[in-house]
Amino acid sequence: MQSDWCVEILWLESVDSTQSLLIKGLKDNSFQAPILLGSTLQTCGKGSRGNSWVSEKGNLFVSLAVFRSSLPDDLPLESSSIYCAMILKQLLEECGSNVWIKWPNDFYVGDKKIGGVITNIVGDTLVCGIGINLCYAPLGFEVLDIEIDAPTLSKGFSLALEKFPTWKQIFSKFRLEFDKSRSYLTHTGNKAIELENAILLEDGSLECNGQRIFSLR
């Protein structure tokens, strides 16, 4: 695992998608990992399964690229979204939030979604995109239950990730709150699957009705 860690933080006023821009920049070498790209406004955010992420100015829109060699040796790449989500969740808890993670990549407060994580592999880097409703939420969603601005939270996340806890450490905490996910659905392809009787496996995947499902987000 790579030990040196110095994240470049770039903040924009407006962007269509931090995830799309960062991936493009990594591919054409205009950006180099490790780097965090954030924006005050995002006009065409990316959600799970190709959905858009509707949001407003002041919410959290960031994407972070890290070398795969920096990640813990025991981290299953298919569960990178769980890993990144849990690191940010623990940071928010330290700030007084009651946020929790619905398998595999959604931030919830109570029974309402407030955000999510998507991850992509680009060459030798992992790109983690995060969106959280800090001050505005569309109908059916909720905002974070504490006050914190996007730049402060972004910097805190990059510092928390610097510690690179092992997957075993992260998974032991995620396992404890997985039961909160059981009253919800997840999706594989276009199929909705109930999590009520799902078995959470050690690599972060689920066994549902004899089928193994990875987060892959």
CA distance 69 to 217: 20
Return the pLDDT at 49: 47
Q: If DSSP codes are grouped into helix, strand and coil, which group holds residue 173? A: helix
Listed in sequence order, the residues at least 6 apart from 25 whose beta carbon sits closer than 8 Å to its beta carbon are 31, 37
CA distance readout (Å), 197 to 129, 181, 185, 209, 213: 29, 10, 11, 8, 13
Q: If DSSP codes are grouped into helix, strand and coil, which group holds residue 13? A: strand
pTM over 0.75: yes
> What are the structural domain ranges in the chain?
8-174
Give the closest residue to 206 by CA, choosing from 71, 76, 49: 76
The per-residue pLDDT string of the chain (217 residues; one tens digit each, 9 = 90 and over) reads 444 568 999 999 999 899 999 999 999 999 999 999 999 988 876 555 455 555 678 899 999 999 999 999 999 999 999 999 999 999 999 999 999 999 999 999 999 999 999 999 999 999 999 999 999 998 889 999 999 999 999 999 999 988 899 999 999 999 999 999 999 988 777 788 889 999 999 999 999 888 888 865 5
CA distance 20 to 200: 31
CA distance readout (Å), 67 to 1, 42, 79, 132: 10, 25, 16, 24
* Other Cβ atoms within 10 Å of 35 Cβ, number: 20
Q: What is the CATH number of domain 8-174?
A: 3.30.930.10
**In sequence order, what are the beta bridge partners of 60?**
132
